[in-house]
Amino acid sequence: MLMKPISDTVISASGLGLTFETNDGPVHALSDVDLAIGKGEFVSFIGPSGCGKTTFLRVIADLEQPTFGTISVNGMTPEEARRSRAYGYVFQAAALYPWRTIERNVALPLEIMGYSREERKARIARTLDLVNLAGFEKKYPWQLSGGMQQRASIARALAFDADLLLMDEPFGALDEIVRDHLNEQLLRLWARTNKTICFVTHSIPEAVYLSTKIVVMSPRPGRVTDVIESTLPAERPLDIRETPEFLAIAARVREGLRAGHSYE
Amino acid sequence: MSAIAVPGGAIGRSGIWARASGGTAVPVLIVVLAILAVWYLAAIWLNAPWQLQIFARGEGDWTWVDFLAGTMSQDRPLLPAPHQVAVELWNSVVGQNVTSRRSLVYHAWITLSATLLGFVMGTVLGILLAVLIVHNRAMDRSLMPWIIASQTIPILAIAPMVVVVLASIGMTGLVPKALISTYLSFFPVVVGMVKGFRSPDTIQLDLMRTYHASQGQTFWKLRFPSALPYLFTSMKVGVAASLVGAIVGELPTGAAGGLGSRLLAGSYYGQTVQIWSALLMAAALSAMLILAIGTVQRIVLARTGARP
């Protein structure tokens, strides 16, 4: 494995740990995580519930503070990165504001960040086009299907040109057919925008299909048990999932989960 | 077999009935008729002793018809019959110049102006307090118990003091009454808006944090729009409380006008018909105010994408 030069590292964590104090004693959500994520990578975090994958994403986003170790995002602390609006975050639920139309939902971060009216208009058109939602600008969220709502929330995260996209099980609540379709679109979008994507999932095929790097995690304490560099080509049609190469990587992911006692 | 024969004819016959009973008209009408029936029976029953005394003092015979008619047409009945109140309402609303002190519209306007002023002040105060409570832990802990305690004091005890104290420093008329309205109407708004401002999901608040949004931006773009449905609901409760406050505020001032003074004057002189018509006027005012808020609510929520 080639080491990437330091300037290309977007996220680097070393000895990272996070312990929640609860009434039943401390919960080790993350323990001793060392990880480097390079620019333009598509990294999936996979593991069972409680393995700390979402917590790690929230630490990157400065939504949680680590108790041990260090982490840098774009060479800054997570807080500085958040203040400089370094990332877009896509949550498990679309979290669109029901009183805003789709275009005004996408406009929300742009309004907060002080973009001009013309700039907002241009960016809304561009990002809605990117997620294939052109023509739905004036619709309210409840008028859209779950998959379309989640695409709108991705458009919202893309609208302000952050180079880093953090996605927390964005397709977890959708059915498999819609999910396949959105996975394909997400890969295409990633190829067009050249963003760095951190993607949390609990689906092995999804992780293998999307990623250039798969981080396998295990619970109690939440930790990284394996980091797999994908050998799949950049161009990935959906039926790549039946190739031996794909199945080999999936097997290694499963192996990593088993090694971390995730199946017990 | 009727089960087979019915469909064609039944649809034609039941069409109008189905349409009428599908709406709210029929249930409301039935309730109104029931209330009127009970009211008439109560009027006969309550006014009967006095009517019997009149007959006992008078000469000659009386029939049951005379008796029933008598219980419904006394000058100062214990409980006036609905039609007596209706006639009084008609005479004092339509039959008088609206600037006349004999006009119920004149008195209703005095009460309404105090109600509206107090309601606006109460709503603004309620929203401001809710903003403080939501944004400041110390305020949450220190203010909320006092706000709740304020509503445990009977308004009838506090209203005369407010009126008398304010009169002694030269404030009379509209403002003291409006302050009593404010006192009653800010409470539902505080409680509703604290809940409303706290109604956004964690995920929606996290989203604002990822944008590094300021507290003001989070308030105007997330908390306030989330709280709008709560605002209208608490305003409906608040406006009814405001009207009660204005009427209670008018009781100590006696002759100064308003539905409250009309009630008081009515009870001084035993004018029960006048009391009841003022009461009905107050109920109608309250209904109108709540309808108005409901209309604004529908318009605002429709404009903010509420599911029809």
How much of chain A exceeds pLDDT 70, in percent? 96
Instruction: Pick the residue from chain B with its C-alpha nearest to A78.
Output: B210
The verdict on a CB contact (< 8 Å) between B203 and A113 is no
pLDDT reported for residue A260:
76
Provide the domain limits for residue B285.
Answer: 104-303
Is residue A108 within 8 A of residue A156, CB to CB? The reply is yes
Mind telling me how many Å the CA of B188 is from chain A's nearest CA?
24
State the DSSP H helix or E strand holding residue A26, giving kind and residue range, or none if neither.
strand A25-38
| Pair B199, B117 in one domain | yes
Residue B91 is assigned to a structural domain of this protein: no
A140 in contact with B, Cβ within 8 Å:
yes
Give yes or no for residue A97 having a pLDDT over 50.
yes
- What is the crossing angle of helices B82-93 and B25-57, to 10°? 100
B21 or A64: which carries more pLDDT confidence? A64
A95 in reach of chain B (CB within 8 A)? yes
pLDDT of the residue at B68: 87
Same domain for B11 and B160: no
Considering the domain architecture, whether residues B29 and B160 belong to the same structural domain is answered as no
Q: Do B212 and A85 touch (CB under 8 A)?
A: yes
The answer to whether A86 faces chain B, any CB pair under 8 Å, is no
Please give the share of chain B, as a percent, with pLDDT higher than 90.
Answer: 52
C-alpha to C-alpha distance for B73 and A125, rounded to whole angstroms: 75
pLDDT reported for residue A174: 84
Q: Which two tokens stand for residue B249?
A: 């505020």
Q: Which of A76, A99, A136, A154 to mutate to test the interface with B (most CBs of B within 10 A)?
A: A99
One domain for residues B232 and B122: yes
What value of ipTM does the predicted structure carry? Answer: 0.89
Q: CB–CB of A63 and B209 under 8 A? A: yes
Give the mean pLDDT of chain A. Answer: 90
Per-residue confidence at A67, pLDDT binned at 50, 70, 90?
Answer: very high
Phi, psi of A167 (to 5 degrees): -125, 120
The answer on B111 and B69 residing in a single domain is no
Rounded distance between C-alpha atoms, residue A245 and residue B137, angstroms:
57
Same structural domain for residues B121 and B226? yes
Place of tokens 């007959």: B55
Per-residue pLDDT at B20: 57
- Same domain (yes/no): B169, B274: yes
Chain A contact set for B212 (CB, 8 A) = 82-83, 85, 112
Min Cα distance B298 → chain A (Å) is 14
Determine contact: B205 vs chain A, CB below 8 A: no
Are residues B70 and B114 located together in one domain of the fold? no
Q: Give which of B291, B270, B271 is closest to B91, Cα–Cα.
A: B271
Tell me which residue in A89, A99, A140 faces B210 most closely, judged by beta carbons. Answer: A89
A138 CB within 8 Å of a chain B CB: no
- Whether B204 and B240 map to the same domain: the answer is yes
The reply to whether B93 falls in a domain is no
Number of A/B CB contacts below 8 angstroms equals 54
**Amino acid (one-letter) located at B41:** L
- From residue B51, alpha-carbon distances to A169, B14, B86 in Å are 81, 47, 21
A residues 3-62 lying closer than 8 A (beta carbon) to B: 61-62
Q: CB contact, 8 Å: A113 with chain B?
A: yes
Please answer yes or no on whether A112 and B206 come within 8 Å at the CB atom: no
Q: Which residues pair with A30 in a beta bridge?
A: A18
Whether B242 maps to a domain, the answer reads yes
Q: Is residue B88 part of a domain?
A: no
Confidence (pLDDT) at B250 = 87
CATH number for position B213? 1.10.3720.10
Answer whether residue B92 is part of any domain.
Answer: no
Nearest-CA residue of chain B relative to A63?
Answer: B206
Q: Do B206 and A109 touch (CB under 8 A)?
A: no
Among A87, A88, A99, select the one facing B304 at the smallest CB separation: A99
Q: What is the pLDDT of residue A1?
A: 44
Look at A108 and B211 and tell me if their CB atoms are within 8 Å.
yes
Residues of B in Cβ contact (< 8 Å) with A108:
211, 221
Tens digits of pLDDT across chain B (308 residues)? 344 444 444 444 555 666 655 677 888 899 999 999 999 999 999 999 888 888 888 777 788 888 888 888 888 888 999 999 999 999 888 888 878 888 889 999 999 999 999 999 999 999 999 999 999 999 889 988 899 898 888 888 888 888 888 888 888 888 889 999 999 999 999 999 999 999 999 999 999 999 999 999 999 999 999 999 999 999 999 999 999 999 998 887 655 788 988 888 888 888 899 999 999 999 999 999 999 999 999 999 888 877 76
Q: Which residues of B52-89 are buried (b: 16+ CB within 10 A; e: fewer)?
A: eeeeeeeeeeeeeeebeebbbebeebbbbbbebbeebb
What are the residues facing A45 on neighbouring strands? A200, A215
User: Distances in Å between the alpha carbon of B280 and those of A165, B146, B208?
Assistant: 63, 35, 50
Same domain, B130 and B232: yes
CB-based contact A112 B228, cutoff 8 Å: no
- The answer to whether the Cβ–Cβ distance between A97 and B204 falls below 8 Å is yes
In this prediction, residue B302 carries a pLDDT of: 86
Question: Which residues 6+ apart lie within 8 Å of B297 measured at CB?
Answer: B229, B232
Cα atoms in the Cβ-side hemisphere of radius 13 Å centred on B10: 6
Tokens 């008609």 belong to B90
Cβ of B140 under 8 Å from any chain A Cβ? no
The CATH label, of 3.40.50.300, 3.40.50.720, 3.30.300.130, 3.40.190.10, for the domain at A40-66+75-86+163-264 is: 3.40.50.300
Burial class (CB within 10 angstroms; exposed 0-12, middle 13-18, buried 19+) of B34? exposed
Q: Chain A residues with CB inside 8 Å of B204's CB? A: 95, 97
Same-domain pairing of B295 and B153: yes
pTM of the predicted model as reported, rounded to 2 decimal places: 0.82
Do the Cβ atoms of A101 and B221 come within 8 Å?
Answer: no
> Where exactly are the structural domains of chain A?
40-66+75-86+163-264, 95-161
With contacts defined as CB-CB under 8 Å, which chain A residues touch B210? 61, 63, 82, 87-89
Q: What is the mean pLDDT of residues A247-252?
A: 94
H helix runs in B72-154, sequence order: 82-93, 104-135, 137-150
Q: Which residue is closest to A142 within chain B, CA to CA?
A: B307
Residue of A nearest to B306 (CA): A99
Has residue B97 been placed in a domain?
no
| Total domains, chain B | 2
Do B21 and B125 belong to one domain?
A: no
